[in-house]
Amino acid sequence: MAQEMIVKNKKKRKIKPFSVINGIIFIIICFFTIVPIWKVLIDSLDLYTSYGMRLWPKRFGLDGYITVFSNSTLYRPLLVSVITTLAGTVLGLLLSTLGGYVLIQWKMPGRNILAGLLLFTMIFSGGMIPTYLVVKNLGLTNTLLSVILLPAINVYNLVLMRNFFEGIPNALFEAAEIDGCSPFQTFYKIVLPLSKAALASIGLMFAVAYWNDYTNFKLYITNADLYNFQMKLRSLILGSDLPTALGSATENTVKNAAVMVAIIPFMFIYPFCQKYFISGINIGAVKE
């Protein structure tokens, strides 16, 4: 792979040794990253229950995955996950971009108060019971709205988004204003198109948070019909510690398969997001 890299590097630079070392370092890093995952992967394909590490399954079989996917009780949660993730990510991105855009209006009266108001909520929170009471009094318990609306406002992501917007050269805003663009028009004609990398990375953060969410689900949803995929996987993974449950013959295999199933979607999502990481605008050195 390192070789291919050098070949592709058709620029006239001579610093090839650096690239080679860099490549090797990453191969090593990847190796160490994969080892623990490999253990899970192999266990999920091994019908034999073993404690130690193995390079290859002792008795290969896909039964773990078949069990996970033939379990028809998983399909509904999968649908719930897709709905909440899509809806939540769109909503989350909307709130973060709007908030981030407003927060770069340094001259706006009250801007600092509004920023402080947001930051305050990142540090202080009312706690589990009060939040539950609010959700309950809004009538959101046992509806998907609770798990979509609640995580949508995320100050952390909002500030990061603002951070990206700051990189947009002021000249563009001025030009837009001269052209008679209203703030709304500037927002979706200039800010959003120029922030693809930001939208992709923060969108990814939202999507992952929604997909993996179980804290909100377990507190606000008591109706198993509305459980998401993550809730089901967790109960699959943790389930057989219940003294009442009877594990199947391949208890360990199924558990590991469930863990892998939870990871697999992300192997495809990131490369998809990375598409938006390449086109850049003039930021950084021009500012400051």
Partner 1 sequence: MKKKGSAGVAVVSPKKTRKYVIKYKSFYIMFIPVILFTLVFHYLPLFGLGYAFTEFRGIKDPEFIGLENFTRMFSSQGFLNAFGNTLKLSIVKLILNTGLAVIISLMLNEIKSLKFKKTTQTIIYLPHFMSWVVTASVFTLILSPSQEGLVNALLVNLGILDKGQEIYFLGSKKWWTPMFYVINMWKDTGWGTIIFLATLSGISPELYEAATMDGAGRWAQMRFITMPALANTIITVLILNLAKVMNLFESVFVLQNTAVIQQADVLQTYIYTQTFNSGALPNYGYTTAVGVVKSLVGCVLVLLCNYLSKKVRGRGII
Partner 2 sequence: MRKRKLMCAFMATTMVASTMLAGCSNDKSSNNGTEANATQGSGTTASGTEGTDDNKAGSDVEKPEKITVMVDGTVVTKENGQAEFEKKWEELTGIDIEIIQPDHSAYYDVLGQTFAGGDWPDVVLLGSTYYAGYANEGALWDMTEAWENSELKASGRINNEELIDSLYLDGKLYGFSPARGNGCVTYVKKAWLDNVGLDAPTNYEEYLEMLDKFTNGDPDGNGIDGDTYGVSAAGLIGTEAPYVNYLPEFYQDAYSSFYQKEDGTWADGFTEDSMKEALTRLKEAYEAGYIDKETLTNKTSDCRTKFYEDKFGVFTYWAGTWATNLKTNLANNDRDDELVALEPIAELGNYLERQAPVWAITSKCENPEGVFKYFIESMLDGGDMQTLWTYGAEGTHWSTKAETILGVTYEEGQFHMLENLEKPGTAYTKNHIDPLLSIADFIDDKDPGIDQIAEEARESAEMFIENSTLVVTVPSTDVMSQYNGDLTTLKNSIIADVVTQGVSIEDAYARFEKEGGADWSQAIVDSLNELNK
Contacts (CB under 8 A) with partner 2, residues 150-209: none
From the number of C-beta atoms within 10 Å of its C-beta (0-12, 13-18, 19+), residue 103 rates as buried
3-32 residues in contact with partner 1 (CB under 8 A) are 4-5, 8-9, 11, 15, 18-19, 22-23, 25-26, 29-30, 32
User: Would you give the binding string for partner 1 spanning residues 149-188, x where CB under 8 A is met?
Assistant: xx-xx-xx-xxx--xx-xx--------------xxx--x-
Counting Cα atoms < 13 Å in the Cβ hemisphere of 73 gives 10
Alpha-carbon distance 171 to 159, whole Å?
22
Which pair of structure tokens corresponds to residue 63? Answer: 């039964």
Token couple for 174: 């001025």
Only segment of 57-65, 108-116, 217-225, 242-250 that touches partner 1 (CB under 8 A)? 108-116
- Asked if 113 interacts with partner 1 (CB under 8 A), we say yes
Residue 29 tokens, joined: 């890093």
- CB-based contact 229:74 (threshold 8 Å): yes
d(CA 254, CA 232): 13
Q: Which of partner 2, partner 1, none does residue 19 bind (CB under 5 to 8 Å by kind)?
A: partner 1
**Binding flag, residue 55, partner 1 (CB under 8 A):** no
Q: How many positions of this chain bind partner 1 (CB under 8 A)?
A: 106
Q: How far is the CB of 129 from partner 2 (least distance, A)?
A: 5
- Footprint of partner 2 on residues 255-284 (CB under 8 A)? 255
Cα separation values, 280 from 135, 166, 195, 221, Å:
41, 14, 9, 42
48 or 173: whose CB is closer to partner 2?
48
If contact means CB under 5 to 8 A according to the sort of partner, which of partner 2, partner 1, none does residue 242 touch? partner 2
Partner touching 159 among partner 2, partner 1, none, CB below 5 to 8 Å by kind: partner 1
114-133 residues near partner 2, rule: CB under 8 A: 128-129, 132-133
Burial of 180 (C-beta count, 10 Å sphere; 0-12/13-18/19+) = exposed
Residue of 47, 83, 131, 142 that binds partner 1 (CB under 8 A): 131
**Which of 55, 129, 178, 246 is in the footprint of partner 1 by CB under 8 A?**
129
Buried b (16+ CB within 10 A) or exposed e, 123-146: eeeeeeeeeeeebeeeebbebbbb
Name residues contacting partner 2, limited to 61-100 (CB under 8 A): 67, 70-71, 73, 83, 86-87, 90-91, 94
Query: Applying CB under 8 A, which part among 108-116, 144-152, 162-170, 201-209 lies near partner 2?
Result: 144-152
Cα radius of gyration rounded to whole Å, the chain: 24
Per DSSP, the residues of 76-114 read HHHHHHHHHHHHHHHHHHHHHHHHHHHHT-TTSTTHHHH
Nearest distance from C-beta of residue 26 to partner 1, angstroms:
5
Point out which residues bind partner 2 (CB under 8 A). Answer: 47-52, 67, 70-71, 73, 83, 86-87, 90-91, 94, 128-129, 132-133, 136-140, 142-145, 148-149, 214, 217-219, 222-227, 231, 234-235, 238-244, 246-252, 255
